[in-house]
């Protein structure tokens, strides 16, 4: 279906964008950064802005007809079928605290559906690439989610409890208590780790399109499933509550906690 | 006082030990690892054991008279004045989850007092070295804690709430709520980030000597303070409740939460 869209040129550009993002991130990461406080208190840095404007310029130069949605500078050409979705620094908290789990997230969506996603970490030089219908790679090598068929054996991750509303936190607590192991922190790394077969479940809320669009192709191309809390496949316009699971059996078990009484709790694409 | 103890040979060996640890860690980090569950549920890996036995062999080869305390293989020569304290993989949860914030921690203690500490991360190639009486370095460059004189402006970090008892969690919650920003996760990276001027306070409990011994020289050589919750300088035998602060003013403000009514809440060394 979308095989024709993601061609060599698009993949090459995406790699170049991640290279450029990493170079800028590292330049700022190795020294202290000025912190600005947004209304929602998430720290934003000069690096954030420099990365996003650089990536936007690269897209404009190669695909001036494509739309762009970015964390820092909003949207252009919102009616384009192909739209890039950019998070110049995912994990800005970690970035500012000197912890190398920040990443750049680059996604391409087709009619709102994420069909390519890249997660890049410049310190460890780890780069995940997911393309709809293809096997996800980590730095060029194919990776797969690991077999894990029960919550009791599962490691569940979430970045921080503070991103949940009180009602969501209650739901997450119940699910977490059914899981064998829980991991806090990590941002996009949690989803990358799930794709690499090291984490089994990730459940979060309050995510924006630039937070989750790049993740879905990476997770699904490695054999996982990524939906909202109703079981709907993630796309532009999803409500920001997400679940990623290593496989369908685990997803189904977790959905009993996320949407226990909803007739919509069936997995649908 | 201790200037004569930490000589070039000891420093060179410590670098070689960190190199060896990083090589083994990376070999396991890049693939999945078998997980064994200890009584306390902390995950332990084959890598953990291989790193520690390698480091112990290196110490035995160069300083057969020194004592060694390690996470995996216990203590030898406990009555030696000079004892090495080893955490082969700090942040094993992160290690297993594929998140590159694990480190190796190597400390040397003299009569129980940590006089040298190294924190090493092999993916990002960041290496912190603290020596009593000298300026802490990050990969060879001198670093300093940042000026931050009030809790309201401070970023406080802790690895996870689960390491606190309910009473400790209550104390931490109150302190955290007085701080401008809070960061979860990170393990030794929190203290390294404090030394690098990116985090202002770290408060944890339940730490073992191999968790904290390497951290104190790094923190204090960068201008910070690291004590227990009573204000006592950390040494072998401390009770595992620790606070690291960017400076004395911030430490004093935080101590009002940690030891509010204790006459022992004064800072003493």
| Contact between chains at B98 and A199 (C-beta distance less than 8 A) | yes
Name the strands in the sheet holding B242-245, side by side, starting at the edge strand that comes first in the sequence: B181-184, B155-158, B201-204, B242-245, B225-228
Q: How far apart are CA A132 and CA A218, in angstroms?
A: 9
Residue B36 sits at φ, ψ, to 5 deg, of: -115, 140
Strand partners, B145: none
CA distance A258 to chain B (A): 23
B187 Cβ contact list (under 8 Å, min separation 6): B90, B91, B94, B101, B102, B103, B159
Give the pLDDT mean for B193-205. 96
Q: Sort out which chain B residues have CB atoms less than 8 A from A190's CB and list them.
A: 97
What is the distance of C-alpha B135 from the center of its chain? 17
Q: Which one of A41, A96, A193 has the shortest CB-CB distance to B98?
A: A193
Find the residue in B nearest to A182 (Cα).
B93
**Confidence grade of residue B46 (pLDDT, cut at 50, 70, 90):** confident
Polymer length in residues for chain B: 269
**Tens digit of pLDDT for each residue in A113-156?**
999 999 999 999 999 999 999 999 999 999 999 999 899 999 99
If you average pLDDT over residues A79-93, what whole number do you get?
95
Write the pLDDT tens digit of every residue in A169-218. 999 999 999 999 998 888 999 999 999 999 999 999 999 999 999 999 99
Q: In angstroms, rounded to a whole number, what is the distance separating the alpha carbons of residues A223 and A134?
A: 10
Nearest neighbour of B97 by CB, restricted to A124, A125, A198: A198
**pLDDT (tens digit, 9 = 90+) per residue, B131-168?**
999 999 999 999 999 999 899 999 999 998 889 999 99
Enter the DSSP assignment of A147: P
Rounded to an integer, what distance in angstroms lies between the CA atom of residue B243 and that of residue B249? 13
Contact B196 A98 (CB under 8 A): yes
**What pLDDT, on the 0 to 100 scale, is given for residue A93?**
86
Question: Is residue B249 predicted with pLDDT exceeding 70?
Answer: yes
**Rg of the Cα atoms in chain B:** 17
Distance separating alpha carbons of residues A264 and A253, to the nearest angstrom: 15
CA distance, residue A61 to nearest chain B CA (Å): 32
Size of chain A in residues: 269
Over range B189-195, report the average pLDDT.
96
**Cβ pair A100:B93 closer than 8 A:** no
Tell me which of A26, A42, A97 to substitute to probe the interface with B (most B C-beta atoms closer than 10 Å).
A97
- Is the predicted pLDDT of residue A267 greater than 60, yes or no? no
**Are A47 and A176 in contact, with CB atoms under 8 Å apart?**
no
More confident residue, A62 or B94: A62
User: Tokens 């409890």 map to which residue?
Assistant: A161
ipTM above 0.95, yes or no: no
The tens digit of pLDDT for each residue in B71-87 reads 989 999 999 999 999 99
Could you read off the pLDDT of B108-117 as tens digits, one per residue?
Answer: 999 999 999 9
Report the pLDDT value the prediction gives residue B261, as an integer from 0 to 100: 64
Average of pLDDT values for A242-258?
A: 97
How far is it, in rounded angstroms, from Cα B62 to Cα A251? 53
> How many Cβ pairs closer than 8 A exist between chain A and B?
96
| Cβ distance of A192 and B96 shorter than 8 Å | no
How far apart, in whole angstroms, are the C-alpha atoms of residue A55 and residue A228? 28
Q: CB burial class (10 A; 0-12, 13-18, 19+) of residue B157? A: buried
Confidence category of residue B252, pLDDT binned at 50, 70, 90: very high
């Amino acid at each position: 279906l979308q095989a024709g869209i993601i061609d060599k040129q698009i993949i090459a550009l995406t790699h170049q964008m991640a290279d450029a993002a990493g170079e800028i991130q590292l330049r700022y990461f190795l020294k202290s950064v000025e912190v600005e406080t947004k209304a929602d208190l998430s720290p934003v840095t000069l690096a954030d802005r420099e990365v996003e404007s650089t990536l936007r310029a690269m897209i404009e130069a190669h695909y001036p007809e494509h739309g762009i949605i970015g964390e820092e500078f909003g949207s252009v050409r919102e009616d384009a079928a192909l739209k890039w979705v950019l998070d110049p620094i995912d994990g800005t908290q970690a970035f500012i605290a000197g912890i190398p789990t920040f990443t750049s997230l680059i996604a391409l969506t087709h009619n709102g559906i994420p069909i390519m996603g890249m997660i890049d970490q410049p310190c460890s030089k780890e780069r995940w690439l997911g393309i709809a219908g293809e096997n996800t790679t980590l730095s060029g090598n194919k990776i797969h989610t690991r077999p894990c068929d029960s919550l009791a054996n599962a490691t569940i991750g979430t970045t921080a409890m503070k991103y949940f509303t009180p009602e969501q936190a209650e739901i997450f607590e119940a699910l977490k208590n059914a899981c064998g192991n829980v991991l806090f922190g990590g941002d996009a790394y949690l989803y990358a780790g799930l794709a690499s077969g090291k984490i089994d479940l990730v459940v979060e809320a309050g995510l924006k399109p630039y937070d989750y669009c790049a993740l879905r192709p990476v997770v699904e191309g490695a054999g996982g499933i990524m939906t909202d809390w109703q079981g709907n496949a993630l796309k532009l316009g999803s409500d920001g509550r997400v679940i990623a699971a290593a496989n369908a059996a685990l997803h189904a078990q977790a959905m009993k906690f996320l949407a226990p009484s909803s007739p919509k709790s069936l997995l649908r694409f």
